[in-house]
Amino acid sequence: MDFSPYTIGITALVAFLAYKYVNARIQRSKLDAIPTSGPNGIFSSYVTVWRYLLHARTLIEEGCQQHPGTAFKIPTLFGWNVVLNGRDMFEELKRASEGDLSILEMFEDLVHLKYTMSPVIHRNPYHLDVIRTTLTRNIGARFDDVRDEIQAAFSEYIPPQDDWVEPSNIIKTIQNIVVRTSNRFFVGLPLCRNEDWCDLNLKFTINVMVNGSLIGFFPKFLHPLLGRIITNRKSSLRRAVRHLTPILNERFAMEREYGRDWPDKPNDLISWLIDSCAQNGEDWQKGSYEDLTLRVIATNFVAIHTTSQTFTQALFHLAANPQVVEPLREEIKTTVEREGGWSKVAMVQMRLLDSFMKESQRRVGVGAIGTARIAQKDYRFTNGVVIPAGTKVGVATYHFHHDESKYPSPFEFKPTRSGS
């Protein structure tokens, strides 16, 4: 027999294509009960794949028009996605448990955390519990610090001017403000203003998104290799540890001397993470600085990307709708005076500002599909639609947010829409 490299290569390619074909047939058969947007043959579906890459919003809108109030599927480069086009199904999706429809698995599939951050993050994301509980509860307590950093960052990056000033890179400017403000909350002064620390977190966030997407284009058996080749997660972590080591040394020294509730203990993410580990019975005085550091930069990743995009879009909408500037200023001025200063309570009372931000997010959104999950096991909705295990499922959010029955003149930006 001929065992030349050429023959082995051709045989391997044929075997791989055969495997992909059989796998595609199996996956498609599980989804036969769900209608398809566009051609759905093994080969003809790639026409739809191409359309999805170039015109996803249009393709999904067509599916919504063809299949109202239910679900449909679309082929992508990486398999089939099921899109929910019914509000009842949307509510069911939100109520589904992590063990049924997993957001963590979806996030892992999107950015491949085990290769772009660390396998530990995927295995034990305890920092998410800290974000949902302790961090959220302390927003009011840390409000003055956050506001102070917003003022300082704006004064540096967008100083007051008499004339119109056009930033050379608005998203970069907003990211600089967001990373400083977030880290005033996470790690406090002076580290939140350290240029290398801020640069590290900004680049880490971008690298995770870019490298995660790149890894996803290759077969899974290549992911571990690509994770070692194209990511710089280990060097980024070492760089971050150098910044946090002096802080962690001081925190643990004070805890050893005075106990967990030592005098003037900082109320920040580092303390909350250490406390969380102690509550779980782990001896973090002998623990890993790398793990605590990893959780801090992972929390930065969550905060920086979404906040920067949301804030930038809001600024664009403000510039495009100058008629709302004075009403917003008047509401803010009146509310702050009435509530005796800036506070979380005062912010809640700013109805027009809240409506403006909601309308900005409604009008642009984060994509044609949102609230994405991966089915951990076969999941049946009350209307009978079954999502097979391993299938990606999401909601046609752009369609919902531009539904004329719910939002009259949906393509018009109305700053008072949510407050009216």
Q: Give the residue, 100 or 283, on which the prediction is more confident.
A: 100
241 or 167: which leads in pLDDT: 241
Among the ranges given (16-25, 29-38, 273-282, 376-385), the one the predictor scored with the smallest mean pLDDT: 16-25
Q: 248: which 2 tokens?
A: 């962690």
**β-strands 379-380, 386-387 pairing:** antiparallel
Quick one: three-class SS letters along 159-189? CCCCCCCCCCCHHHHHHHHHHHHHHHHHCCC
- Sketch the domain layout of the chain as residue ranges: 119-320
Most confidently modeled range among 39-53, 149-163, 284-298: 149-163
Output the pTM of the full model: 0.85
Is 194 exposed, middle or buried (CB count within 10 Å of its CB: 0-12, 13-18, 19+)?
middle
Q: Give the residue ranges of DSSP H helices in 321-394.
A: 325-338, 344-348, 351-364
pLDDT tens by residue, 268-311 = 999 999 988 876 555 444 458 999 999 999 999 989 988 998 99
Strands across the sheet with 370-375, in order? 71-76, 79-84, 392-395, 370-375, 101-102
Is the model more confident about 214 or about 11? 214
Query: Which amino acid is present at 24?
Result: A
Output the pLDDT for position 374. Answer: 95
Which tokens is 6 given?
């050429």
Location of structure tokens 């509510």: 91
Name the band, by pLDDT with cuts 50, 70 and 90, for residue 12. low
The 10s digit of each residue's pLDDT in 358-409 is 999 999 877 788 899 999 999 999 999 999 999 999 999 999 999 898 899 9
Give the ranges where 31-112 is alpha helix by DSSP (H). 45-66, 87-95, 103-111
Cα-only R_g, the chain: 25
User: Average pLDDT of 105-125?
Assistant: 87
Question: Which pLDDT band, with edges at 50, 70 and 90, does 9 fall under?
Answer: low
